[in-house]
Amino acid sequence: MSSELLAESITDLQYFLAQCRASVDAELDRLVPAEDIRPESVHQAIRWSLFAGGKRFRPALLLAVGRTFGATTDSLLRTACAFEMIHTYSLIHDDLPSMDDDELRRGRPTCHIRFGEATATLAGDALQALAFQTIADDWQLPAETRVRVVSELARGAGTPVGMVAGQARDLEAESRDVDGDELESIHQLKTGALIVSAARSGAIIAGAEDALNSVTDYAAGLGLLFQITDDLLDVTATAQDLGKTPGKDARAQKATYPALYGVEAARQRAVSVYEQTCHALDGLQQPTTLLQEIARFILQRNA
């Protein structure tokens, strides 16, 4: 396993992220049924979306938080994969014609375009079940820890305070005007909740109970920062950078930060959220360079 490599390079973010991606991809490949296992259609669809070049941001954050508080990569890796499974199922379902109706993601046809709507729906459903099974079956963790992490993941993924709640409120908002507070509260659910659950799960596995409040605040800031820069990229980036059609949110008249505040004010908001995010780490005794670098990376990302 790669825990030693990660430990040596903990201040080198690019190297850390590349190592996370390699470890997570290899473990996901072990956890997900092969393409020739029946029902082949569903397993092919799952792998099509799961191995589409995702950045593995949620797993990396979970690993970074867990490593910061002393957990081994091995003890964190399966839970990290479970969060990526939930994230991927949500992308598959969000892309469906009845939802955001997207035909392209990361430069390739979306799951339902490639495999049909029924198979895409089932692939998402199966991935959600597999995420919870992955944690429940992770014999490296005490049962008490697994139960807490299952609960964290479920709360971050569902309703009323998780990702599904955010997606539902985002759909509701398409038919009416929303103000800045409402926009932030939608994003806190749609993107932030799962990011917060991932970070908290890393801390829980590390046994860092005292740090949970700081980690929660840090991750909430990170989620908001992620969404603001996502909205900015939709306005400013090229299709090649994004692997999807830019400007789509604006054309769909979705509430976005640039649409509400203008590009310049949205950029300033990103900087101020970045500063708050790092500030949340101030009270911790552990070195938090890696977590601060992740926040800066999100602020400065171009894809």
**Contact residue for a copy of itself among 30, 160, 175, 264 (CB under 8 A):** 160
Where in 167-206 is the site for a copy of itself (CB under 8 A)? 167-169, 171-172
39 binds a copy of itself (CB under 8 A): yes
Residue 108, helix vs strand vs coil: strand
Q: How far is CA 65 from CA 75, 112, 169, in A?
A: 13, 34, 29
User: Could you tell me where the beta strands, DSSP code E, fall in the chain?
Assistant: 104-105, 108-109
Comparison of 4 and 29: residue with beta carbon closer to a copy of itself: 29
**Contact residue for a copy of itself among 27, 43, 87, 178 (CB under 8 A):** 43
Contacts of 51 (CB under 8 A, 6+ apart): 25, 28, 29
Q: With contacts defined by CB under 8 A, how many residues of the chain interact with a copy of itself?
A: 53
Q: Which of these segments, 21-29, 31-39, 198-206, 265-273, binds a copy of itself (CB under 8 A)?
A: 31-39
Taking the C-alpha atoms of residue 301 and residue 244, their distance in angstroms, rounded to an integer, is: 16
Taking the C-alpha atoms of residue 152 and residue 196, their distance in angstroms, rounded to an integer, is: 9
Where in 74-133 is the site for a copy of itself (CB under 8 A)? 89-90, 93, 96, 98-99, 116-119, 121-122, 124-126, 128-130, 132-133
140 binds a copy of itself (CB under 8 A): no
CB 226 to a copy of itself: min, Å: 21
Going by the DSSP 8-state scheme, the letter that residue 56 receives in this structure is -
Nearest Cα to 201, choosing from 191, 192, 212?
212
Residue 108 β-bridge partners: 105
Comparison of 10 and 136: residue with beta carbon closer to a copy of itself: 136
Comparison of 130 and 273: residue with beta carbon closer to a copy of itself: 130
